[in-house]
Chain A
Amino acid sequence: MAYTPQDYKSELKPIWCPGCGDYGVVQAIYRALATIGRPPHEIAFVSGIGCSSRIPGYTTAYGFNSVHGRALPIAQGIKIARPELLVLVAGGDGDGFSIGGGHVAHAIRRNVDLTYIVMDNQVYGLTKGQLSPTSPRGFRTVSSPEGSLEDPVNPLMYVLGYGGRFVAQGTPADLSGLTQLVVEGLRYPGFAFINVQSPCVTYGSPDAQLKAHKSSMKNLASLGHDEGNRLRAMELAAEYGRSLYTGIFYRDPEPPPAYEALVAERRRALTDPGASRERVLEKFALR
């Protein structure tokens, strides 16, 4: 049976501000899911807290809108428990690189087959406009009225630096490009990271809106970038905040088995068909 984007659109009406970049992201997700074609009940979609983290509610799937910064551990538990599911994770820049930053490194090195989409708007939307870990130095917000004194986290370098094997960036300003990135991420057999420059129209910087993206974005493929070259990917990723590159920075040409595949292998090797749970206690008998 073929699925249409409409099949993944839930009954809930988004509460996002008109013009919010996240509308484009959810559209790209609907389209990508239709391309992949898995039935909604075989999809788990996990998020943290933030405007962006509302997104599983707008998607027809088994959704989990959890707590701030903790989507990745929950998603890994789901995928390990039921490897047959398609598992997506999404959230904001604060969710992923501030409060939840510690989990990202471990999701990368564990390499559970998840597709992690960060809606990077360089600001805290839900809590009404404070600094985010990706806000540029000097950025003025309600929590930094005189301008921020910190350098931003570079999400692309962060993930590449920890050994990420699929790293991409997109923007809803190029919806078909973004859709294709989500499709590629979902197809990648391991941890895939997609940073989406998803503008916050209400609190975001005027230089980070869709219109600006349209004129400044540069597609990596059309620049002739070789997505199997990790070092070159890092050079390009270092331009985060200065140039808006879209496309795949790096995709491991020879992906190793994902974590849950290794778990399944170990389970197969160690599961003892004769083992009875009732008899576990007998281990303690003195013989």
Chain B
Amino acid sequence: MTTDLVIGMAGAGGDGVIAAGEALMTAAARSGYRAMMTKSYGPQIRGGESSFHLRIATGEIFNAGTMLDIAVALNWDDFLRFGAELPVGGRTTVVHDGAEGAALPLEGVSPADAVAAPIAEMARTSAGTEKAKNTVVLGLLAGWLGLSADSLLAGVRKRFARKSPEVLAGNERAFAAGLAFAQAHPLRTDRRLCETAPPPSPRWLVDGNEMCAAAALVAGCEFFGGYPITPSSEIMHFLGREIWRHGGTVLQAEDEIAGIGAVIGASFAGRKAMTATSGPGMSLKSEMLGLATIAEVPLVCVNVQRGGPSTGLPTKSEQSDLFQAAFSAHGDAVRPVLAPISVADTCRITIEAFNIAEQFQTPVILLSDADIAQRKEVIDPIDPRAFTIVDRRLPNERELEHYARFQITESGVSPISYPGLEGGNFLASGIEHNERGAPTASGEVHAQMNEKRIRKLAPLKARRDLFSIEGDRDAPIGLVSWGSVAGVASEATAVARREGIQMKLLVPRLLYPISEEVYEDFFASVRAGLVIEQSHQGQLFRIIRMFVDVPRGLESLARSGSNPITVHDVLDRVRQMVVAFQRQRVPQEEPTLG
């Protein structure tokens, strides 16, 4: 029996691979398991091969896992196209359709075992069509994994409820055939999931983009303007369905510039507003983000990071837009950059993004990434009442008497009016302006205004709740990681500590401005460590070093997107650090001159 299992499956377009993955995940979630699923598609626009990678466990899951425990290949050609997404190793059980022969076309790998199951034949004889292959696989996995057959079958029935009774009956027989095959050909017992208690209340099944959109509504978002781009479009799709019910509006603009332009307009008009984009779209938004900074217009700009530069790898995750988020504005612009680490975390961090935008009257960049945005997770219910919702500070009657929109206050935050409010009219501008909004070229005013706009963000750096630290407080080894990769670092930390290695992990949700104090405190005990992230340059590693004196042994563990960083990779580097420590402790013998 096992507490943690990774299953991958691939097939041709029309094989219903993704539907099978979703059915498995739903059944697992209902029985009380945690799960995380990523999907991958071939390059065809529609109808090509597809695959899922699904991790199911009895306890909490921090990342999607890598190496498969069970690999299901409906046919080898399609399976092998997903080499990077569906890694097969020496511990993998390979399930394939016997019709293609017994030989496994897996170069250089000898899997733990292989089962040739006549999947297509079972589908044909039981349902009269190969379309039922995915249902056969559900039967197989129900039998092998010990997942509730009732629950899976209920899912199958729901899916085919609107089809003809024959189709439904055929799929029921296909499921039964798979189940019977599995019972007749049991797998090794460690492929069977330990039982788990059903959750006290139903768990949630959601992906990162949906969560971001829903959380925006919780935060009070009333306007969304954007332009379609992978992998962020689902945020607009979700809001296009939902925001109207709450009295809001979605605008699909003519380009990303107009999208954020309309958001600036709506926010200037007093509404909480958001835009979302990726890659090239983010580049187009740069100038407007600068305008929002100088005109002090609150807004949230979501960047679901993908591989770049330019079109890059549109469907693959990367964390290579941190430099851009922090530094793409011309002029002395500082704007908060936040990043969630998981689907559940996306809820809190999106609400924080709105709160920070409104409180400090600034654009906030929310750096999600394709991994978080596109993966589905089973999560515990979130109580929205746990969040405070912050609104912008309107001018009071006294302030409206001689209203100065950009008044230099102690906090740097000035009262903000909105069109329609009598006495609150002012000129917002991208040109430098004085406290009353009048354009100016005065060096003195410019310096004061820069100082004010940057000073107002200072309280953010003291927000320790925008950082999490796990592990041993005074550990000599310290990891730092962010975004979707933080889940890998988190699991590696837990494994290393079980091995007796003293270490800790810092995960910032506030990426910029850099909180010197938080990093300095964390690094105080650290002699060696890693900053772990998915980019070629190691962008967080470099930004931290711009602002913080880091321990000499701090290194970067970074690689380009679509080259997953695994728990294994982290552990390897950590173990090397431990060995290096031990060597340093052994007094070296003086070389003798002979």
Contact = CB atoms under 8 A, between A and B. Distances in A.
Interface of A: 10, 12, 39-44, 46, 49, 54, 56-57, 60-67, 70, 72-82, 84-85, 102-103, 105-106, 263, 266-267, 270-272, 275, 277-281, 283-287
Interface stretch (B102-110, B379-387, B528-536): B379-387
Contacts of A66: 261, 264, 291, 295, 428-430
Given A62-B419, A67-B288, A73-B265, A80 B247 contact: no
A217 to B, nearest CB: 33
B244 A278 contact: no
Choose among B211, B251, B429, B438 the residue with the greatest number of A CB atoms under 10 Å from its CB: B429
Interface residues on B, range: 35 or more
A201 B287 CA distance: 31
A2 to B, nearest CB: 17
B24 interface: no
Contacts of B295: 64, 66
Contacts of A287: 202
Contact of A263 (B26, B202, B249, B431): B249
Contacts of B443: none
3 closest Cβ pairs, A-B complex: A77-B265, A73-B261, A77-B262
B406 interface: no
Contacts of A263: 249
A81 B246 contact: no
A65 B261 contact: no
A124 B249 CA distance: 37
Contacts of B223: 77, 80-81
Interface of B: 26, 29-30, 201-206, 210-211, 214-215, 217-218, 220, 222-223, 225, 242, 244-249, 251, 253-255, 257-259, 261-271, 273, 287-288, 290-291, 295, 347, 379, 381-382, 384-385, 418-431, 437-439
10 contacts: A41-B419, A41-B423, A64-B295, A73-B257, A73-B262, A74-B268, A81-B249, A81-B265, A277-B218, A280-B218
A39 B201 CA distance: 55
Given A57-B438, A103-B254, A285-B381, A77 B225 contact: yes
A286 B438 CA distance: 55
A266 B248 CA distance: 10
B419 A57 contact: no
A65 B427 contact: yes
Contacts of A64: 265, 268, 295, 427-429
Nearest to A279: B384
Majority SS at the chain B contact face:
mixed
A283 to B, nearest CB: 7
A61 B202 CA distance: 53
Choose among B210, B249, B438 the residue with the greatest number of A CB atoms under 10 Å from its CB: B249
A278 B215 CA distance: 9
B68 to A, nearest CB: 25
Contacts of A271: 244-247
A84 to B, nearest CB: 7
A82 B217 contact: no
Contacts of B222: 81
Contacts of A67: 287-288, 290-291, 430
B269 A78 contact: yes
Given A44-B268, A70-B287, A103-B261, 16 more contacts: A42-B419, A62-B419, A62-B425, A67-B290, A72-B258, A72-B261, A77-B265, A77-B266, A80-B251, A80-B266, A105-B254, A263-B249, A279-B384, A280-B242, A281-B215, A286-B203
A236 B270 CA distance: 42
A6 to B, nearest CB: 16
A44 B419 contact: yes
Contact of B264 (A62, A74, A270): A74
Contact of B269 (A44, A57, A106): A44
